[in-house]
A and B are shown apart, each in its own frame.
Chain A
């Protein structure tokens, strides 16, 4: 069940490269196994964060102060494209990230964020670029504020930007709703649909069993 999200004021790190895919966010070998939860934070952005000898890459933003403390990522276009691996969201979360701001995200990554109480915010590219520029200007000292109830972002230099979000998603995050439990409340509907559908489309429900 996701933790509720309402307000956040935190250090934000810009990761502005286009098409940061979920393989780059977390490599596959970190995700093979059933006991991986809790082990992923140190491997987030592994291929950018560490040099081939395993030491930290001093150039990578999350290895620099004050961005080590970042809870918000300001991202380039199409962040989180590629694989459906929810481990990408888990890795960000375990690294301390609570919100990502960008002009567009991979569809599956976007959905996975909400499932884990991470807020993905879509705003115009000009707003994203402006936030990244202000972070640079204030050298990370200026925090970004997010108010989900009000649907606003406050930039490091105090400008306010409104963002749009699906009201259902917003409500789910504010309350930390468990989608499985909510859907199970509709189990009568599901069973009624299936009963009718067995007549309509029997081939769906009796796969390989009619012979």
Chain B
């Protein structure tokens, strides 16, 4: 009898099984463990308090991103942020773990530097104490976020006990319209399946529009997997992936490169692989997306209207919509475009790579940030920053009135004290519009880098398609 087709998830999963624990649960090998300043030193201290040592320091890499200031010279880093940075330096050094420190090439948001340095590879199993670890799936890796206890477990054992998830395939078909980006694609999917649509699944993104996307766009797609509830998201590696990875500092070279690529070509799901759930999105119908509420599923096209709770008969849903409207200070039924904004944040592990900054700069070039709007550009890594400066993007932004910052997570989650003031409205290229995410009572609208730049120039939520040249 012929073997049934296997999914990419099954292929990568099976390659990492150290031991079967029960029917659907395995002890998996962790190929890359990424640490950051918020939880890294805590995990290493926890390990030491148990009298244990790091199992494989050479497979563990660290960088500060969450709690450091993104002001020049890291001025104004909160005291506790400095303490965490010091602890991360001390503890990684004591354990023989490589640290990419501030102002060094290699430092940056952990999900930006993994792919950028070639640490994250196709077929790799990658974990990090951060839910957006799914980002690395854009290279064809099996990558997911873990909690503090699991982090300690990985430090101690270089392995993790996991239950095999169900599989979902989300196919994006068609040619992407002009002005529509990876961010719009994934927000549209979240709007379609909901914030719990992927819970319990590993999602594989496929279809012609995914194949057409450059690798950085694929990283953006996978980054938002967790916002549809899936802790793992992945895209089959292809020639674009190999070209992206080749020559990066930690990528294999020479003979080992050939050997790796040969193995990676076997990873994509077989044509007859069966998924537990299939979703198809027609990308030709996608408009620039913007969220209006307090969950990424509260998303509409920029030419759309804010939902009216009165229009829904389900009382639970009506109450949820009303809560969101009240928090966001919006009027039911009003057009979302034209909503005045106070802040624009372009950055985060979702949208802070060179291609994101180029897209924003293209909108900003020769224009001015609207009076009363504060607009920040926070590059995802030291290398992104240097590459952007080398091609003059920083000048375009500063001449337009944007602030050009140092790399870090910054205002995406406001762990470092960089916040949107209470009641103020922000358009952000990040991943979460949760209550208080960007600061207590801050109001967040998620959008693409180009849409965020358009909002900065317009002083209001705007349709970037009207501003493109």
Of the candidate stretches A55-63, A141-149, A150-158, A183-191, the one touching chain B is: A183-191
The reply to whether A27 and B436 contact each other, CB–CB distance below 8 Å, is yes
Most chain B beta carbons < 10 A, residue from A78, A84, A206? A84
The reply to whether B119 and A207 contact each other, CB–CB distance below 8 Å, is yes
The distance from the CB of B448 to the nearest CB of chain A, in whole angstroms, is: 21
With contacts A17-B320, A33-B84, A193-B29 taken as known, whether A108 is within 8 angstroms of B252 at the C-beta atoms is no
* A-side contacts of B320, CB under 8 Å: 17-19
Residues on B close to A: CB < 8 A? 15, 18-19, 21-22, 25, 27, 29, 31-32, 38, 41-42, 45, 50, 52, 55-56, 58-59, 66-67, 78, 80-81, 83-84, 87, 118-119, 121, 123-124, 129-131, 145-150, 152-153, 156-159, 161, 163, 165, 195-196, 199-200, 226-227, 229-231, 249-254, 256-257, 259-260, 263, 294-295, 297, 316, 319-320, 323, 413-417, 422, 432, 434-437, 440-441
Contact of A32 among B18, B52, B81, B249 (CB under 8 A): B81
Instruction: Other than A81-B195, A202-B256, give 19 A-B pairs with Cβ distance below 8 A.
Output: A16-B316, A82-B227, A83-B130, A85-B147, A86-B147, A107-B165, A107-B229, A108-B147, A112-B149, A166-B22, A166-B25, A168-B21, A168-B25, A186-B159, A189-B18, A201-B263, A203-B260, A204-B59, A207-B119
The reply to whether B158 and A52 contact each other, CB–CB distance below 8 Å, is no
* A-side contacts of B436, CB under 8 Å: 23-24, 27, 47
Most chain A beta carbons < 10 A, residue from B159, B259, B294, B432? B159
Q: A21–B129 Cα gap in the complex (Å)?
A: 17
Contact of A183 among B58, B157, B254 (CB under 8 A): B157
Q: A23–B45 Cα gap in the complex (Å)?
A: 25
A140 within 8 Å of B by Cβ? no
A to B contact number (C-beta, < 8 Å) = 202
* B-side contacts of A27, CB under 8 Å: 436, 440
Can you identify 27 A-B contacts, CB atoms within 8 angstroms?
A18-B316, A19-B297, A27-B440, A32-B80, A32-B416, A34-B41, A34-B87, A52-B440, A81-B196, A104-B196, A104-B199, A107-B229, A108-B147, A108-B231, A111-B147, A112-B150, A116-B149, A180-B52, A183-B159, A186-B18, A190-B18, A190-B27, A202-B256, A203-B252, A203-B256, A207-B59, A210-B252
Q: A104–B50 Cα gap in the complex (Å)?
A: 33
A205 within 8 Å of B by Cβ? yes
Residues on A close to B: CB < 8 A? 16-19, 21, 23-24, 27-29, 31-34, 47, 52, 76-78, 81-87, 89, 104-108, 111-112, 115-116, 166-168, 179-180, 183-184, 186-187, 189-190, 193-194, 197, 201-208, 210-211
